[in-house]
Chains A and B, each alone.
Chain A
Amino acid sequence: MSRIVALHLGLVALLLALNFLLPAYTHGNIARIMVLAVYAIGYNIAFGYTGLLSLGHAMFFAAGMYGTGLILRFSELSALPAWGVGLACGAGLALAVGLLALRTAGVAFMIVTLMFSQAVYLIILYFGAFTRGDEGFVIEAADRMIWGLDLGQPQVRYLAAWALFSVVLLISLRLVRRPAGRVFVAIRENELRARLLGYDTFRYKLLALVISGTISAASGGAYALLFGYAGASFATVQYSIFPLLWVLLGGAGTVLGPFLGTLFMFYLIDIASGLTEAYMLIAGLALIGLTLFAPQGIAGVIRARLWKDLP
Chain B
Amino acid sequence: MSLILSTRGLSKSFQGLRAVHEVDFDLPQHQVRALIGPNGAGKTTFVSMLIGRLAASAGRICFDGRDVTDMPAHARVALGMAYTFQITSVFARLSAHENVALAARRHLGADQDAVEAEVQEALGRTGLADRADALAQDLSYGHQRLLEIAMGLAQRPRLMILDEPTQGLAEGEIAAFKALIRDLARDTTILLIEHNMAVVMELADRITVLNFGEILAEGTPAEIHADARVQAAYLGSGGDD
Interface on A for B, CB 8 Å cutoff? 178-179, 182-183, 185-186, 189-190, 192-201
Contact = CB atoms under 8 A, between A and B. Distances in A.
A201 B78 CA distance: 13
A194 B93 CA distance: 14
B110 A190 contact: no
B92 A190 contact: yes
B236 interface: no
A201 B73 CA distance: 10
A186 B74 CA distance: 14
Interface stretch (B3-11, B94-102, B169-177, B223-231): B94-102
A182 B102 contact: yes
Interface string B85-111: 100011111100010011101110110
B208 interface: no
Contacts of A190: 89-92
19 contacts: A182-B102, A182-B105, A183-B102, A183-B105, A186-B94, A189-B93, A190-B89, A190-B91, A192-B89, A195-B72, A195-B74, A196-B51, A196-B83, A197-B103, A197-B106, A198-B74, A198-B107, A199-B106, A200-B74
Interface of B: 51, 53, 72-75, 77-78, 83, 85, 89-94, 98, 101-103, 105-107, 109-110, 151, 155
A33 to B, nearest CB: 30
Contacts of B73: 195-196
Contacts of A178: 110
A197 B81 CA distance: 9
- Chain B CB count within 10 A is highest, among A196, A199, A200, for A196
Given A192-B53, A196-B77, A198-B77, A186 B110 contact: no
B47 to A, nearest CB: 11
Given A194-B102, A196-B73, A179 B91 contact: no
Contacts of B155: 197-198
A198 B101 contact: no
Contact of A198 (B85, B89, B106): B106
Given A192-B53, A197-B77, A182 B98 contact: yes
A186 B91 contact: yes
B92 A197 contact: no
B151 A197 contact: yes
Contacts of A198: 74, 77-78, 106-107, 155
Contacts of B85: 193, 196
A197 B102 contact: yes
Contacts of B51: 196
A186 B151 CA distance: 13
Contacts of B109: 179
Given A196-B53, A200-B75, 10 more contacts: A179-B109, A179-B110, A182-B98, A183-B102, A183-B105, A190-B90, A194-B102, A197-B106, A198-B74, A198-B77
A186 B102 contact: yes
Nearest to A194: B102
A186 B103 CA distance: 10
A193 B89 contact: yes
Contacts of A183: 102, 105
